[in-house]
Structure 1
Amino acid sequence: MRQLSRGGRRKNDRIDAAAAACVAVLHRDARSVDPEGPTDILALLDERRTNMSNSRTRLVNQLHALLRQLFAGGAPTSLTAGSATTLLRGFRARSGVDRTRVGLCRDLIADIRRLDDQLAANEKQMAHTLDEHGTRLWEVDGIGAVTAARLIGRTGCASRFPTAAAYADYNGSAPVQIASADTDRRGFSRHGDRQLNSALYTVAMVQTRMPASAGRAYYDKKIDEGKTLAAARRTLKRHLSDHLWRIMLADEKRRYRLNQADSASAA
């Protein structure tokens, strides 16, 4: 059902959004709009970090290509600004073309250093915002400031997902059924928020490398049950999705109670 524009002006996205909101209110299934806060800050910081990381990768690739042209043996693939500077320190350009390449390399190194500083500042701001948020995601093995910021920022309001299964479907960790004439099995989904899915995968992989973690115990249990390594990792990722959603939901309820208490005391 859709409420159409009343005319008088051309329809646009804002008019469509207002119409959809009116219909939702009439059907009593509208959701309240929460004021912006730390969750929105984390989403902005995560998006900014993604853009900076992509830019840094592009700069490093350009630097590596230039260094391969300067050095007969090539350059290491795991380049940093410091290692590239050390590599250039003993190089003597013998032509105008090589001098241009060296100058471009130095420009790229300066750009990489600048991005490294900005990424460090971005992570520091994430950690400060997470402290304000008061999340318990810090307590989960394999989750640092960057991963926690992505999980919270891209999840948004955890209570908008009615069940853990709905959240798993949103982040793409819910398995999908793959059926054909002779097989009927479950595989991984390529749908959902891929950035959020990537964060879950990172946590799962870190935990499988930590012998004392709860995630490694769960992973080993699935292996003992006969699952393949890939299937055990997918199962662990879905298990983490449920666990992290419950933590974020509990954090949200706790913040709500604290805000209610502060409002009551202020009154």
Structure 2
Amino acid sequence: DKEIGPLVTKAAPRLIALPGLGPETAGQLLTSAGDNPDRLRSEAAFAHLCGAAPVPASSGRTNRHRLNRGGDRQANNALHTIVLVRMKYDQRTRDYVARRTAEGMTKKDVIRCLKRFVAREVYRHLPHMIHTTKPLPQIA
């Protein structure tokens, strides 16, 4: 914590300020994003990279989704940790969980939705140097 805290705070101060993100989870998400800069064209691509993109898993009359099992498992674990911390300490998240549970969603489905939300929020707060894309070729 003594070593990674200052490094993460210097690299992404807006990211570390988000509720539920500590130096270790923020460091893992920065590492996952930094290792794959060419894959991060949008927040949906970041969600796929973290394994937090919903995949239809319907059969018969049921209409449901599951999380993508692919992607960076350590980044997915970091998102899961953030969601669990927010479910315990963040009032907005607790209100959301109560509302979605009252609508009939299971805890597992609520966590899936929250992971996708956190992935979207984290992507917006990643340093801009990570968001670089390859330039498009010029057509003469």
Q: TM-score, normalised by structure 1?
A: 0.44
* 2:88 match: 209
CA distance in 2, matches of 1:211, 1:181: 37
1:220-254 superposed Cα distances (whole Å, 9 cap, x missing partner): 33223321111111101111010111111xx326x
CA distance in 2, matches of 1:164, 1:193: 15
1:65-102 superposed Cα distances (whole Å, 9 cap, x missing partner): xxxxxxxxxxxxxxxxxxxxxxxxxxxxxxxxxxxxxx
Secondary structure in structure 2 of the residue aligned to 1:124: coil
* 1:161 match: 40
Higher RCO (CA < 8 A, seq sep 6+)? 2
Unaligned runs of 5+ in 2: 130-140
In 1, are the aligned partners of 2:47 and 2:53 still within 8 Å (CA)?
Answer: yes
Among candidates 15, 39, 54, match of residue 175 of structure 1? 54
* 2:128 match: 252
CA distance in 1, matches of 2:39, 2:66: 26
CA distance in 2, matches of 1:211, 1:132: 25
In 1, are the aligned partners of 2:87 and 2:93 still within 8 Å (CA)?
Answer: yes
* 1:185 match: 64
Kindly tell me: are residues 162 and 134 of structure 1, through their superposed partners in 2, closer, same or farther at Cα, counting changes over 3 Å? closer
Aligned residues: 129
1:3-54 superposed Cα distances (whole Å, 9 cap, x missing partner): xxxxxxxxxxxxxxxxxxxxxxxxxxxxxxxxxxxxxxxxxxxxxxxxxxxx
CA distance in 1, matches of 2:95, 2:16: 19
For 2:46, the aligned partner's letter is Y
Residues 211-230 of structure 1: matches in 2 within 5 Å? Answer: 211-212=90-91, 214-230=92-108
* 1:200 match: 79
Secondary structure in structure 2 of the residue aligned to 1:136: helix
Kindly tell me: are residues 158 and 142 of structure 1, through their superposed partners in 2, closer, same or farther at Cα, counting changes over 3 Å? farther
Kindly tell me: are residues 160 and 192 of structure 1, through their superposed partners in 2, closer, same or farther at Cα, counting changes over 3 Å? closer
In 1, are the aligned partners of 2:33 and 2:40 still within 8 Å (CA)?
Answer: no
* 1:138 match: 16
Percent identity over paired residues? 31
**Deviation above 3 Å: which 4+ runs of structure 1?**
157-160, 179-184
Quick check: which one's helix share is greater? 1
1:116-158 superposed Cα distances (whole Å, 9 cap, x missing partner): xxxxxxx211112123214212221221111111111111176
Alignment pair present for 1:236 and 2:104: no
In 1, are the aligned partners of 2:67 and 2:112 still within 8 Å (CA)?
Answer: yes
Which has the higher Rg, Structure 1 or Structure 2? 1
Unaligned runs of 5+ in 1: 1-122, 254-267
Alignment pair present for 1:129 and 2:7: yes
